[in-house]
Amino acid sequence: MKCRAFTPAFIVFGALATVPAQADEAAIEPESRWSPDIRLSLGRNDNIGNAELKRDIVDDNFATLSAGLSYRWPITPLQTLSIRGFAEAQRVEAVKDLSRYSGGAEISYRFRFNPMPTSWSITANLFAQVDDYQTHRQRDGQMYTGQLIADKPISDVWSASVGLEYRHRDAHSDVWDLRRTRGFVSSRYEFVPTWSISGTYSYIDGDVASTTRAIFPDGTPADDIFKLVQAADAIEIDQAFTAAFDGIWIGYRLPAKTHTLKLGVDKRFANKLVLDLSAMRVIANARGGNKYRNWIFGLSLQKRF
């Protein structure tokens, strides 16, 4: 699948990558409590509809541009409160109606147990996000997330963390109205100066939304989706996939146990620029023997000011 639609994104990548380094200035000027940032990501999902049946699997490309403004408030030498507002736009290449505009806010409280470099820290995060999809209202709605994370620097170059997350997506349609709980462990290692590798394993207990074709282009009903329909908590026509492809597609929601493993490598530059490459494997096993698999690849460039 060609990616002509993303040519402007590569131009932005190049512009960000050529920002001159300002390490000397940063060493002289005190760090501001205000911190603007911008992030550009390119990605590919080899099963963007979370389909179980091979005939329904759609691989697609996407590009995401986000910008935010953070304020960091040191309460005490061991406590910090941060807030951030952000706006985001995502464009999907093939299933165009999955493109969206989003906006939201984050608040984070971080506490260190003592000033030692290898001290444990506890972080509590709250997120709220509003999504507006390109054409149809089915997936529009709000998403709320709460996290509690414990992390520890094991050495100057190695750190680890463990966390718990709850997420509620309150969508316009019942199919995409999702609740889930996630537990995760993560580690990061700086194998050479400014180069790091990271890994995160997650176990998720909660709802998943998937898509399948119910009626073929010639009007023939699909006779191999009975177990999907029977097991689902909610079902309706998926307007985004039906608009993108022939036939009639339906979306359905199921409770599932999901495992994800994300591996990444990133490069930090002197001018607060970070380049990140990641790959994530998703394995979801839902009620009634239903299941799906994903590979999600991403390349992102983030600049802080």
CATH number of the domain encompassing residue 136:
2.40.160.40
Amino acid identity, position 186: S
Please give the tally of structural domains in the chain.
1
Residue 15 has pLDDT above 50, yes or no: no
* Residue 270: band (very low, low, confident or very high) from pLDDT cuts 50, 70, 90: confident
Q: How does the average pLDDT of the chain come out, rounded?
A: 90
Burial of 24 by CB count in 10 Å (0-12 exposed, 13-18 middle, 19+ buried)?
exposed
Residue 123 has pLDDT above 90, yes or no: yes
* Residue 226: band (very low, low, confident or very high) from pLDDT cuts 50, 70, 90: confident
Residue 34 has pLDDT above 90, yes or no: yes
Where are the strands (E) in 55-194, listed by range? Answer: 60-76, 79-92, 100-112, 121-133, 141-153, 158-171, 178-192
Residue 108 half-sphere exposure toward CB, CA atoms < 13 A: 18
Residue 24 has pLDDT above 60, yes or no: no
pLDDT at 118: 86
Average pLDDT, integer, range 165-190: 96
What is the span of the domain harbouring residue 246? Answer: 4-304
Residue 12 has pLDDT above 50, yes or no: no
